[in-house]
Structure 1
């Protein structure tokens, strides 16, 4: 089966595309409509956004016009959004409803706690744990009410995830979305997710920006030349070849097309060479959040 159409069965039994379209830092009504138009044409059927991205309303407007164009129904898409750190706690269910209204849909396929901490709360404070616990209970309520089909987390470390799994709430997260690329991958976190049936989903697959972007890494470039692919395709394939979901973002049509065209195999020795890269985190660091 092609990676373009490959899906992962979540704990609920729902199927989630392994490759989704990320919308972080993509704003503006026309730009959103353009990139989603190209993404749907290329075969993407999962869209990832968040309350803090500030683009939910523009995505909702775009999909209202684009779904008929591609003869698609709402149920043909898998839509994810995320809880703002400012809404941690009992307000989480209301935040789900607000995202649904912005996106002009009746439900969300997946809703994630975006960050283990809360806005305005020191990272070392025990209040963070209490608020994310309240958020989870509120999201269980949203799930029970049919607002969201699956709930999960983002930026959770082994410690945060174990804390949640050891709670008495009885609902496991379906997904843990984290920074994941050859320079930042935690084998213990992956092992825990596989053990618990939780889909590990990568963001920042290409690393950082500027000189820290991994598409400039000599190992990545050499493997790309060997396979006749772009460095970005190598980095994305490195993840999906390990059954890790990805949500690459792009503004240009050719890159949107290339990011989902990953039907090739990276040799085991090259996979190892990529994985052995020096560890370097480029995005938020959740390890210090209590």
Structure 2
């Protein structure tokens, strides 16, 4: 399977690459330009950012210079950004406009509600559900205006997604971006997404930091050695073989190149072995948000 060119058809009919380039914690005008230069050269055509990442402006500057370098147009690139939890509510449409201005483009391909809660609001407050419902209505307006082609969510668990689908204004979320790796793979969530035609997109594919980094896991290393691949490639391919999209981030050219070079197959036995782990989240836990 050549995942480098594989795409998923969203509920809108638009196509999104299965492998995107993540930019979380990558900041600085020159660094952003360097990594995006290497990413475009390697074949990435999807870029993932968020308002809270603080790098939209630098991504916009970089793309303005880099797209002509690779004979690319705006429509050749799939750009995703996300709503800050501090902007939940009726003002979500205005947040889309701000991201568009920062990225120096005229529309976004995908815009996600980044978190099911609201900044500064207790997780057990019903303000959270009311605010995310208002956000969705506001994002539908942005979609109708052509500001964004697709809208979706991030960190939505089954309860949040079920709530949204029951009152989505006729517009299903196109994507649900969640923590997904061998130690965190809520299959009930994937089953719901598959049933509704929603693409599940993984973040934190390599696990956490320190001793929770799955790159150092003995099983991952053993399978990597057997296949002649890096531990990172094994973890990324593990998600892809389940039809879960990925957005790996990297700052070094060799890792950027390796993260999209995933044309191999992990056998069923090793796929099961990788997934048979104690369930553990390494990022935040959305289940706490009512």
Pick the TM interval, shorter chain. over 0.9
Confirm or deny: 8 A CA contact 2:136 2:168 kept in the other structure.
no
Q: Tell me the equivalent position of 2:87.
A: 87
Confirm or deny: 8 A CA contact 2:61 2:104 kept in the other structure.
yes
Give the SS at the match of 1:153: strand
- Give the alignment's TM-score, normalised by structure 1: 0.99
Q: Tell me the equivalent position of 2:10.
A: 10
Q: Tell me the equivalent position of 1:200.
A: 200
Residue by residue over 1:79-127, the C-alpha shift from the partner in whole angstroms, topping out at 9 and shown as x without a partner, is 0000000000001000000000000000000000000000010000000
Q: Tell me the equivalent position of 2:228.
A: 228
Q: Tell me the equivalent position of 2:152.
A: 152
Q: Tell me the equivalent position of 1:62.
A: 62
Q: Tell me the equivalent position of 2:275.
A: 275
Query: How far apart are the structure 2 equivalents of 1:65 and 1:12?
Result: 30
Query: How far apart are the structure 1 equivalents of 2:287 and 2:240?
Result: 25
Residue by residue over 1:225-256, the C-alpha shift from the partner in whole angstroms, topping out at 9 and shown as x without a partner, is 00000000000000011111000000000000
Q: CA deviation at 1:41?
A: 0.2
Query: How far apart are the structure 2 equivalents of 1:168 and 1:118?
Result: 19
Q: Tell me the equivalent position of 1:176.
A: 176
Q: Tell me the equivalent position of 1:119.
A: 119
Give the SS at the match of 1:16: strand
Confirm or deny: 8 A CA contact 2:90 2:135 kept in the other structure.
yes
CA root-mean-square deviation: 0.6
- Give the alignment's TM-score, normalised by structure 2: 0.99
Query: How far apart are the structure 2 equivalents of 1:56 and 1:82?
Result: 10
Residue by residue over 1:48-86, the C-alpha shift from the partner in whole angstroms, topping out at 9 and shown as x without a partner, is 000000000000000000000000000000000000000
Query: How far apart are the structure 2 equivalents of 1:176 and 1:250?
Result: 22
Q: Which structure 2 residue ranges, 5 or more long, are not aligned?
A: none
Residue by residue over 1:2-61, the C-alpha shift from the partner in whole angstroms, topping out at 9 and shown as x without a partner, is 100100000000000000000000000000000000000000000000000000000000
